[in-house]
Amino acid sequence: MFRSSTRIMASLLAFGVALVVSGCSDNREPVSEMTSNSEAGSGMETPVAFDATNPFFVEWNTPFGIPPFGEIRNEHYRPAFLAGIDQQRADIDAIRNNPEPATFSNTLEVLEQAGPLLERVNRVFSNLTGTDTNEYLQQLDVEMSPLLTRETDEIYLDPVIFNRVNAVYEQRESLDLDEHQARLLELTHREFLRRGAALDEDSKNRMKDINARISELNTIFAQNLLKETNSFELVIEDEADLSGLPQSLIGSARVKAKSKDLPDAWIFGLDRATYEAFMTFADDRDLRRKMFDGYRARGGQGSSNDNREILAETARLRAERAELLGYANHADYQLETRMAKTPETAENFLLEVWKPGLAKAQQEVAEMQLIVEEEGNDFVLEGWDWWYYAEKLRQKKYAIDEDELKPYFELTHVRDGAFYVANRLFGVRFEPLTDVPVWNPVVQPFAVYGPDDEFLGVFMTDYYARESKRDGAWMSSYRHTSNIQGNDVRPIITNNLNLGLPAQGEPTLLNFTQVETLFHEFGHALHGLLTTARYPRFAGTSGSPRDYTEFPSQFMEHYAAQPEVLAVYARHAETGAVIPPELVDKVQAAAKHNQGFKTTEFIAASLLDLNWHRLSVKEAAAVEDSVQFETDVLEAYGLPDEIGPRYRSTYFSHIFAGGYSAGYYVYLWSEILDADGFTAFKETGNIFDPVLAQRLKENIYAAGGLRDADVLYRQFRGQDPSIEPLLDIRGLN
């Protein structure tokens, strides 16, 4: 159920600042929430570095204003960043020096649109460093991340700007603001306070240093991880060693080996899709162990890419920043504006699911050990055996194997299935685009229209893995939405997966977890595309609490397994035959399989995250060995040896490179909402119930962060969510 390593573009506005972060999906606008691509505001005043041959400095006359990817070269970024910073400073100066008293429009709205050039270059840059990076971009990223963080801090810690925002805030009752305006004011004001606008000068200066350093550390962490992942290769030269592996995986490994001039070998890397498939199917126990050890060693091997000290310093600085702001620790700070409100609430919730999850996992171990013995082996099940025997158990209990299933999940069919669901629920349709710029030949672009043929935005899919791309799955955007003073700007949304490129002429076949991931990211995409919020700060996935943002995405996952949806998209890649009902029944029955393991490894990672971020400054400084800290934490909760945390600290990029610090728990928390919300549809007897779908669209997918998350949920559901559906769906009741 949970996404693998997924990623999110971080918010420079939210703490945990990095240009691009790891974590699931969605887009927490870098720098950009306060900027917009508005052509408004005289726009391109870039005297310093103006250069008409630099595509960032000229208007994009491309279809839908899609970035002219083919024209953008490495050397265009730096001058555009620098000019963009200048422009943003000028925009902020204009607010600061405005002789008029502060008003909503001359302060809040101008702030919201400041620095359009920076917004534009940063969007392209942050996205491409995630999907098509190179050494030049990586170096520039390390350089720019702290610089941009400082620029953002200069705004939020500027006393004059804050006084103006505050002056408007003080008069809010008498200003006759509509709901969107009032929300923008509330969120902006809160953000200033949470970023330290009310601190004294010394604390502000320390704050700026901390933020810049954290930003740099986040970038380094992510880059180290990419290098560590790419540096591992399991090269197989003897065909016998491939025993058990599915043809599609073997094909991808061959493609990879050819690209490395080893045409007679097969190469398996550590991207999550390859890793999981290898661990699930490879008969050779020693080779499984090699992959397992390689995966878990990443970031802690003493190489130049070691992340241990990077993450420890990050934890120390976050603790210090929290204390500066008057919080006991970083988790307290982070959770204040989330649905859970406190780390204790989040932890108690996790432990409530942890106990039945652990009990289930112990039962699973016993069942798998039995198979080991039935096979005549006398070893005790270890971590590198789990996937392999879980698959055997699945075949035994449900008589279903992945190779039988996969031909029914061909990539374009699955994608069209997701489109079908969006159409049935929300009346949305997707028109393929040709002849528009793309950043990579595998990208497929679509124009998206609503039920009245209104243009909603552009949707671009990038589903394949490559070495220049980070691992995981995520949603992001090249342009955010805004509708300030009628400048109706619609978004350019992307979905990224990391599927293995099939051998030439072969279809791309997905396993069911990958199908769910595609639906998941598509749910984030709909959250971005359907938005009707006027201001970027809370449009789409922005401005919603992190433990709510996964609700619209996880909600879509439920549809992937519904018989009436499967009947539409699950067609055999060769014969075109619809998936037989008995196979659907098996898929549904098998859905609860291995949930003990999945629940436990997920919660272990969540608890590890909370514990890293509940440290006081003193406690964080006392951590000498981050691996030992991790071991101690997990032992204290009683994590069994055979199950590791889903991410170990040294490659836990959600929390050390991304915006999910003290927030990995959010996937499970959001599952309360998506399980409960989907149950509402089930109860009507129609998973596309039009009345409910309309409420879902209005209050969830279109509303963005317009109201508090618990309010939005009640408006959709008519009542508060219950935890029971979650436990039922996971088979933990």
Q: Mind telling me the catalytic residues?
A: 521
In the complex, minimum distance from the CB of residue 25 to Zn ion, in angstroms, rounded to a whole number: 4
Q: Please identify, among the stretches 17-25, 279-287, 290-298, 355-363, the one whose residues bind Zn ion according to the rule CB under 5 A.
A: 17-25
Q: Give, for 123, the enclosing helix (H) or strand (E).
A: helix 116-131
Residues 23-52 that bind Zn ion (CB under 5 A): 24-25
**34: nearest Cα among 90, 113, 124, 125:** 113
Residue 24 or 102 with smaller CB distance to Zn ion: 24
Tokens 């730096």 correspond to what residue?
78
Distances (CA, A) of 333 to 210, 368, 666: 15, 42, 15
Strands 429-432 and 444-449: antiparallel
Per CB under 5 A, the segment of 189-197, 356-364, 547-555, 708-716 that binds Zn ion is: 547-555
Q: Which is nearer to Zn ion, 25 or 329 (CB)?
A: 25
Q: How many residues does the chain have?
A: 733
d(CA 245, CA 197): 57
| Spatial distance between the Cα atoms of 640 and 599, rounded to a whole number of angstroms | 13
Specify the stretch interacting with Zn ion by CB under 5 A; choose among 217-225, 510-518, 544-552, 715-723.
Answer: 544-552
Question: Nearest distance from residue 30's CB to Zn ion, in Å?
Answer: 17
Q: Which distant-in-sequence residues (6+ apart) come within 8 Å of 539 by Cβ?
A: 480, 481, 482, 491, 528, 531, 533, 704, 705
Within 118-177, the residues that bind Zn ion by CB under 5 A are: none
Backbone torsions φ then ψ of 370, nearest 5 degrees: -60, -40
Give the binding range for Zn ion (CB under 5 A) out of 87-95, 138-146, 152-160, 545-553. Answer: 545-553
Residue 24 CB, nearest distance to Zn ion (Å)? 3
Rg of the chain's alpha carbons, rounded to an integer? 25
Q: Among residue numbers 553 through 572, which ones bind Zn ion (CB under 5 A)? A: 553
For Zn ion, the closer CB: 280 or 553: 553
Residues within window 236-265 making contact with Zn ion, judged by CB under 5 A: none
Shortest spacing between CB 15 and Zn ion, in angstroms = 19
Write out the two tokens for 228: 């560590």
Distance CA 150, CA 207 (A): 10
User: Can residue 4 be called a binding residue for Zn ion (CB under 5 A)?
Assistant: no
Nearer to Zn ion, 1 or 185 (CB): 1
228 vs 221: CA distance, rounded Å: 10
Whichever of 32 and 670 has its CB closer to Zn ion, that residue is 670
Q: Applying CB under 5 A, which part among 151-159, 550-558, 629-637, 643-651 lies near Zn ion?
A: 550-558
Give the tokens for residue 102. 């502060």
Interatomic CA distance for residues 416 and 339, integer angstroms: 33
Give the number of residues in contact with Zn ion, rule: CB under 5 A: 4
Which stretch, 79-87, 360-368, 552-560, 646-654, contacts Zn ion (CB under 5 A)? Answer: 552-560
Q: Residue 660 class from Cβ within 10 Å (0-12 exposed, 13-18 middle, 19+ buried)?
A: buried
Q: Which is nearer to Zn ion, 280 or 476 (CB)?
A: 476
CB of 415 to Zn ion, least distance (A): 17
Other Cβ atoms closer than 10 A to 376? 6
DSSP 444: E
Residue of 325, 319, 239, 249 whose CA lies nearest to 284? 239
Chain residue at closest Cβ approach to Zn ion: 24
Q: In this chain, which stretch among 19-27, 482-490, 580-588, 643-651 interacts with Zn ion, using CB under 5 A?
A: 19-27
Backbone angles phi, psi at 709, to 5 degrees: -60, -40
Q: How far is the CB of 6 from Zn ion (least distance, A)?
A: 6
The nearest distance, CB 553 to Zn ion, in angstroms, is 4
Q: Do 383 and 601 contact (CB within 8 A), yes or no?
A: no
Binding segment for Zn ion (CB under 5 A), chosen from 16-24, 331-339, 383-391, 440-448, is 16-24
Touching Zn ion, residues 376-405 (CB under 5 A): none
Q: Quick one: 25 or 508, whose CB is closer to Zn ion?
A: 25
At 91, list the tokens. 């925009």
Give 24 or 83: the residue with its C-beta nearer to Zn ion: 24
CA distance 203 to 436: 48
Q: Based on CB atoms, which residue is closest to Zn ion, 254 or 654?
A: 654
Taking the complex as a whole, how short is the minimal distance between the CB of residue 20 and Zn ion, in angstroms? 15
Give the type of residue at 716: F
Stretch that binds Zn ion, among 157-165, 169-177, 505-513, 546-554 (CB under 5 A): 546-554
Closest CB 141 distance from Zn ion, rounded Å: 23
Cα–Cα distances (Å) from 611 to 318, 447, 664, in that order, read 13, 44, 11
Contact between residue 290 and residue 278 where contact means Cβ atoms under 8 Å apart: no
Q: What is the 3-state secondary structure (H, E, C) of 632-656?
A: HHHHHHCCCCCCCCCCCHHHCHHHH
Residue-wise burial string across 72-98, b where 16 or more C-beta atoms lie within 10 A, e elsewhere: beeebbbbbbbbbbbbbbbbbeebbee
Instruction: Pick between residue 24 and residue 291 the one whose CB is nearest to Zn ion.
Output: 24
Closest distance between Zn ion and the C-beta of residue 81, in Å?
28
Question: Hey, what are 77's tokens?
Answer: 């970024």
Minimum CB distance to Zn ion smaller for 171 or for 513: 513
Question: Closest distance between Zn ion and the C-beta of residue 473, in Å?
Answer: 8
Distance CA 336, CA 5 (A): 25
Q: Give exposure, 710-728, as e/b (b: 16+ Cβ within 10 Å).
A: eebbeebbeeebeeebbbe
Give the integer Cα–Cα distance in Å for 720 and 704: 19
> SS3 letters for 451-498?
CCCCEEEEEEEEEECCCCCCCCCEEEEEECCECHHHCCECCEEEEEEE
CB of 705 vs Zn ion, minimal distance in Å: 16
Question: Which CB sits closer to Zn ion, 25 or 649?
Answer: 25
Helix, strand or coil, per DSSP, at residue 619? helix
Site residues for Zn ion per CB under 5 A: 24-25, 550, 553
